Amino acid sequence: MSEKTFVGIDVSKARLDVAILPSGEIFAVDQTPRGLSDLLVRLSEVQPALVVMEATGGLEQAAMLALHAAGVPVSVLNPRQVRHFARALGQHAKTDRIDAVLLATFARTLQPQAQVPGDAAQRSLEALLARRRQVVDLLTMERNRLHSSHDAYVQQDLNDVIAYLEGRRDTLDQALQDAIQADQALRATYDILTSAPGVGPVLAFTLLAQLPELGTLSRQCIASLAGVAPLNWDSGTARGHRCIWGGRAEVRQVLYMAAVSAVRWNPTLKTVFDRLLEKNKPKKVALVACMRKLLIYLNAMVRDQRCWQVPVSA
């Protein structure tokens, strides 16, 4: 039996550096339609078992979609995973060619699961949400500048920019609503999610765009994927504090804000929160538990295609 072929692609704005194992071939193509076409021709000759690349803020999208359309199995990795893998190998040097070989080695060693990109509606939702997040970040920066400004002209200018950005945020919110209403499956899931007390449009947008696996995984898996599953930190007879870490940061951040609201307006989660406080749990620990509980409830609701009920079985 011939040895399987694995490919690593280091993505940059203008170029794709490609490493093929076990042959050791390394080459580069332009990050253009012509370059992608040349890449597909070369990969068709070696029939890779898996191609991996890092998530690079969207620069990897064109290559990923082209590979998927050509029937090539592809996996997009969290850069943190790749950094830890490099450290485990004792590799400290970094160039585009070295990174491509590292990615191919990662693919051959760990063989992560190939991914199926979302459809056009899903990708549009992700892009709109990413842009909304950028605008909200800009709003936060301008408001912070306003608080520290003492010049009347600068304050007026900052207020003008803040008003403009608030308008852009509202426009993006409407675009997100329009995108959801135009897709029957997204619309049905959105209605289910927002039926839960304490779940507003922003959390629903985020779960639809950033956690499309919602409703398809077990409660343990969905909590781990979102980064709200408690992690043990024990050694020998020592028992460390449980903590949450990893997962999808954007989902976790929005879940936290939703939990702050839900423990006030959702009777089920308020009961959970109050019970934990009565046990002398720190407030943040209780909120994290409510984040996890809320996500598990929503996962069950989407799985069963039903709106909020009290109590909700998960």
CB 90 within 8 A of CB 115: no
Beta bridge partners of 10: 17
User: Domains, the chain, ranges and CATH?
Assistant: 6-110 (3.30.420.40), 122-182 (1.10.287), 192-314 (no CATH)
Give the tens place of pLDDT for each residue, 64-99. Answer: 999 999 999 999 998 989 999 999 999 988 899 999
The mean per-residue pLDDT over the stretch 297-308 comes to 96
Give the tens place of pLDDT for each residue, 116-131. Answer: 888 889 999 999 999 9
Alpha-carbon span 195 to 203, nearest angstrom: 12
Confidence of residue 246 (pLDDT cuts 50, 70, 90): low
Residue of 183, 213, 193, 6 whose CA lies nearest to 103: 6
Mean pLDDT, all residues of the chain: 92
CB 205 within 8 A of CB 129: yes
H helix intervals, the chain = 33-46, 61-69, 79-88, 96-110, 120-148, 152-181, 184-194, 201-210, 219-226, 249-265, 267-278, 283-304
Coil/strand/helix, residue 161: helix
The mean per-residue pLDDT over the stretch 199-211 comes to 95
Predicted confidence at residue 148, as pLDDT, reads 95
- Percent residues over pLDDT 90 in the chain: 82
User: Is the full-model pTM beyond 0.85?
Assistant: no
Q: Which of 12-16, 226-230, 248-252 has the lowest mean pLDDT?
A: 226-230
